[in-house]
Structure 1
Amino acid sequence: MELSNSQLLQEIIRIQGVASDESRIKSFIKDYVLKHQGYWKSKPHIIDGTGFQDALILVFGNPRTAVYAHMDTIGYSVGYENELIRVGGPKNIDGTILVGNDSHGVVEGELMIFENEYNQQRLQLSCERAVDRGTLLSFKPHFKETKEYVQSPYLDNRLGVYVALQLAETMENGAIVFSTYEEHGGNSVGACAKYLMNNYEVFQALICDITWVTSGVVHKGGVAISMRDSMLPRRKYLNKILKIANDSGIKFQLEVESAGGSDGSVLQKSDLPIDWCFIGAPEDNVHTPAEKVYKKDIESMIELYRVLMDQL
C-alpha cells in the first residue's frame, strides 16, 4: 500500500526542530494550513503568537476535544570543543551523522563515543571545524518507504504531526494543538489546554504521538490505545474511548506500560481538569535514525482519530 501524501511526511521530517527550537516547523505547519485550508471540510481559526511561544492551535467549529501533536524532536547540543550533550533521550550510536547550522554555515559531522575506565561515556562530534557552542544538531534525514513500512529519523513525532494534518482535512468540530518541548520536559501544553478550556470549554484531550514496539505492542496490531504509561488516564474517559473504538471495527491494540510519558503527562501533572488518552501507532528502533512504523498501523491511527473526534 502507498502512504497517502508521503511527500508531506518527508517534508515535515526534513525540517529541523530539536526541542526548544521549533520555530521553523511551526512556520511550515502554519503556512501549510493557510495554503490548504480552502480545500478542507471546515476552515480553522488559527491561534498563535504572544503567550504561546512556538505552539500553534487550530480550532474547528465548536470543539469538544483537542488533539495534541508535539512538533519537537530529540537531538544534541554542542558544548565545549565539539562535545555533545543530549537533548531529550536520543540513542547514542557511534558513527551516527548529525546535521545543523551555526554562524559559519552548515554543520555535518559524526557522533563518536568514548568510554573511560569507569565505563562513563563522552560524546564528541567529529567535524572538519569547531562548531559554535550551543548549536543544536539532529539526525540527518533519510526517509525510506517500502510496501509495508516507513523508516526514518523522527517518525516520533513528525508522524503524529502528519496524522494531525490529515485529520484537519475532514474535521468539523475539534481543536489541534501543535505543541513544543515534549522531548525535553514539556512546556506549552498547559497554556494551550488552559486557553481551550477557558475560551471553548474543551475538557478532553487525545495525545497524537508514536509509541514503542514492546512485548505487548507489535507491528501489524493496529493503532495502540494506551491504558497507562508512567501516568494514568481517568478510567471513565478511557472506557468511553474503548467503547467507541470497539464499536468502530477499526483495528487497535491495548498498551499497558510502567514507564514513559507524553504531553498527557504534562496535562495530568497540571492543575487543569483535562481528561487525556495517548493513542498512536507503534514504532521500532525508538529514538534512532531508523525509526520504523507499519503503514497500515498509520492508517488505523488516522481512521480511529476521525471516529473519536466525531463521537467523543
Structure 2
Amino acid sequence: MTKLLFDLLRIESVSGNEEPMTEFLLNHIDKRKAAWKVQPEIFYGDKFHDCLLLKFGDPRGAVFAHIDTVGFTTRYENQLLPIGGPEIENGTRLVGEDSLGPISCKVILHDDFAFHDFPRAIDRGTLLSFEQSIILDQEFIQAAYLDNRLGIYNCLKLCEDLENGWIVFSTYEEHGGGSVPFLLRYIQETAPIEFALISDVTWTTEGVKHHEGVAISLRDKFIPRKRFLEKVLKLAEESGITYQLEVEGMGGSDGREIQFSPYAIDWCFIGPPEDNVHTPNEKVSLKDLQSMVDLYRYLMKRL
C-alpha cells in the first residue's frame, strides 16, 4: 500500500490541470495490467480531455473516482483565487511552478482576501496546491489530498481482480464537475451500465467516526434510489465487512451528475470518513480505508 499511495499523494493535480495524474495512471496501468485478472480496454486522449476509462469484460456497473484536487489560481498583485473549496489559514504552504521555475510560498490572509508571499510576481493563472507532508502510523494516514487520492487508490486495487465493470477517472469534480456527462454518454454508447459506485472521501461527523468502517452514504444533498441502496446494504451486511451509514443534507460528488444525467443509472457514494477536509492535514483511518477496498471488491462481483 505505502509506495503506491505515497506516489499518488505526491502528484499535483489541481482542477483544470489533471494531466500529471492521468500520465501517472497510464504509466502505472501499463506496468501492472499484465498481473491483473482481466486485461481492460483503455480509453483516453483529447476527446476525453484528461479523463481515463478502463473497461473490464462485460460491464453492468462502473466505479467513479475524481482525480482532481482543490487549490489556488494566482491573480494580480499577489492575490490567490480558490479552486474548489480549500480551507485557508494564514501561513499555509503552497507549491507550484510557472515559466520562471518552482514556487514555494505561504498564504497571507488580509481583509477576507488571500495573497502569497513569494518574493517575485508569479505568472498570472499559475495553479498552486498544498505542500505535501505525509504522516503514517499504525492507525491513520494524514496528508494533503487524501480526497481523492484514496478513491483513486481504491480503484487501482479493484483493477487487480475486477472481471466486469468500468473504472472511470473523472476531472473537475472539486470545481463544479462537468466531465461525467460526456463520460456517461460514451459509456452508454459503448457498453452501457445500470449502476455506479462513487469512490470518494467523506467527512467525520457526530454519526460517522474513525475506525468504524467505510461509510455508505444514504444521502447527501442528493438522494440515491432507495431500492438500489437496499440492495447495496443487503450485500454489505452479507459480506461481514465493517461499514457505517451516513446521512447528510449537504455535500455532493460525481453522484450528482449521474443523478442529473438523462440515463437511468443507480448510484451510491461509498468512502472512508476524514478529518480536516480540504486542508493540508486530511486524516483517515487505515482500518476504514481497508474496509473500503474490501467492500468495493465484494460489491462489484455481486451487484
TM interval, short-chain normalised: over 0.9
Higher alpha-carbon deviation: 187-196 or 136-145? 187-196
Following superposition, the deviation at residue 269 of structure 1 comes to: 1.7
Matches within 5 A, 1:186-225: 186-225=177-216
Amino acid at match of 1:153: A
CA distance in 2, matches of 1:83, 1:242: 47
Counterpart in the other structure of 1:118:
none
Q: How many residues align?
A: 303
Q: Does residue 1:151 correspond to 2:147, yes or no? A: no
Match 2:162 to one of 171, 175, 178? 171
Following superposition, the deviation at residue 96 of structure 1 comes to: 0.4
Match 1:17 to one of 13, 19, 28? 13
How high is the TM-score relative to the length of structure 1? 0.96
CA distance in 2, matches of 1:172, 1:89: 36
Q: Does residue 1:139 correspond to 2:130, yes or no? A: yes
Indicate the SS of the match to 1:12: helix
Q: Deviations over 1:205-248 (max 9, x none)?
A: 00000000011110011000000000001111111101100111
CA distance in 2, matches of 1:280, 1:166: 14
Preserved contact between residue 224 and residue 281 of structure 1 (Cα < 8 Å) = yes
Counterpart in the other structure of 1:302:
293
Higher alpha-carbon deviation: 63-72 or 49-58? 49-58
Q: Does residue 1:27 correspond to 2:23, yes or no? A: yes
Following superposition, the deviation at residue 81 of structure 1 comes to: 1.4
Preserved contact between residue 197 and residue 203 of structure 1 (Cα < 8 Å) = no
Following superposition, the deviation at residue 184 of structure 1 comes to: 0.2
Runs of 4+ in structure 1 over 3 Å off: none
Q: Please list every run of 5 or more consecutive structure 1 residues that lacks an aligned counterpart in the other structure.
A: 116-120
How high is the TM-score relative to the length of structure 2? 0.99
Following superposition, the deviation at residue 190 of structure 1 comes to: 1.3
Following superposition, the deviation at residue 21 of structure 1 comes to: 0.5
Matches within 5 A, 1:257-272: 257-272=248-263
Following superposition, the deviation at residue 159 of structure 1 comes to: 0.9
Q: Deviations over 1:130-151 (max 9, x none)?
A: 1000000000111110110000
Indicate the SS of the match to 1:311: coil
Following superposition, the deviation at residue 278 of structure 1 comes to: 0.2
CA distance in 2, matches of 1:182, 1:278: 14
Q: Does residue 1:36 correspond to 2:27, yes or no? A: no
Q: Does residue 1:54 correspond to 2:39, yes or no? A: no
CA distance in 1, matches of 2:123, 2:239: 52
Q: Deviations over 1:59-109 (max 9, x none)?
A: 111111100000000000000011000000000111000000100010110
CA distance in 1, matches of 2:164, 2:36: 13
Counterpart in the other structure of 2:113:
122
Q: Does residue 1:239 correspond to 2:230, yes or no? A: yes
Amino acid at match of 2:162: M
Q: Does residue 1:250 correspond to 2:241, yes or no? A: yes
Amino acid at match of 2:116: L
Q: Please list every run of 5 or more consecutive structure 2 residues that lacks an aligned counterpart in the other structure.
A: none
CA distance in 2, matches of 1:86, 1:218: 28
Amino acid at match of 2:203: W
Q: Does residue 1:227 correspond to 2:223, yes or no? A: no
Q: Deviations over 1:258-282 (max 9, x none)?
A: 0000000111122222111000000
Q: CA RMSD of the aligned region, Å?
A: 0.8
Counterpart in the other structure of 2:70:
74
Following superposition, the deviation at residue 50 of structure 1 comes to: 3.2
Preserved contact between residue 44 and residue 59 of structure 1 (Cα < 8 Å) = yes
Indicate the SS of the match to 2:256: helix
Q: Deviations over 1:11-60 (max 9, x none)?
A: 11111100011011011001100111001111111011132110000011
Q: Deviations over 1:180-220 (max 9, x none)?
A: 00000002111112221221121210000000001111001
Amino acid at match of 1:171: L
Indicate the SS of the match to 1:37: helix
